[in-house]
Amino acid sequence: MADAKTGKSPDDRVVIKKYANRRLYNTASSSYVTLDHLADMVKKDVHFVVYDAKTNEDITRSVLTQIIVEEEGRDGQNLLPIQFLRQLIGFYGNSMQAFLPSYLELSLSTFADQHERMRSQLSGLSQTGGLGLYEDQIRQNMAMFDRAMKMFSPFTPGRFDGAAPPKAPEPAPAAQSDETLADLKRRMEEMSAQIEKLASKP
């Protein structure tokens, strides 16, 4: 059965083994690989999973995170704004932590779909000088994505203004929690509607 998120069957996954000496072994090609190789596999949409060779623990998440750290360390390769990283760290242990992964995944997926659609449209305009027609739309897309990344900031007031970190939030009463979830759902629906509206423009 194919994975609901990747569309890949477990049998299609490339298994990578990580050994104690930190070397990564690609069992499909029977060769040692580096983080750069794994980054290229991600960009080529090759689905892989990484296991600790000794414990057989799935360490894919930590390896992917390490790839991001490596990429962010390269000059001119930065994708993650400092403010975004601060906000992201602030959500660890936050009452909204459980909702953030799905929201970020949806936002990035929608952004990627729009990027592919616009790239195909722009390829037909590059020879005709029509690129200027899409400059405003590109700026709107970037602004919209930026707003999506900041949508949760009202839940962490004063967290990044130089003040001392706030104390852990008290558990919210059931009624207040329901109101927060309803507001979050409304925000997400509004954001999705805006994205769909923008994406449908010719």
Per-residue pLDDT tens over the stretch 69-108: 999 988 877 888 999 899 999 999 988 888 888 888 888 8
Give helix 60-72 / helix 35-43 axis angle, nearest 10°. Answer: 100
CA 96 to chain CA mean position, Å: 17
What percentage of the chain has pLDDT greater than the value 90?
A: 33
**Residue 198 binned pLDDT confidence (cut-offs 50, 70, 90):** low
User: Quick one: average pLDDT of 37-47?
Assistant: 95
Give, in order, the Cα–Cα distances in Å from 6 to each of 52, 109, 201. Answer: 22, 11, 27
- Provide the whole-model pTM: 0.56
Amino acid, res. 156: T
Residues paired with 155 in a beta bridge: none
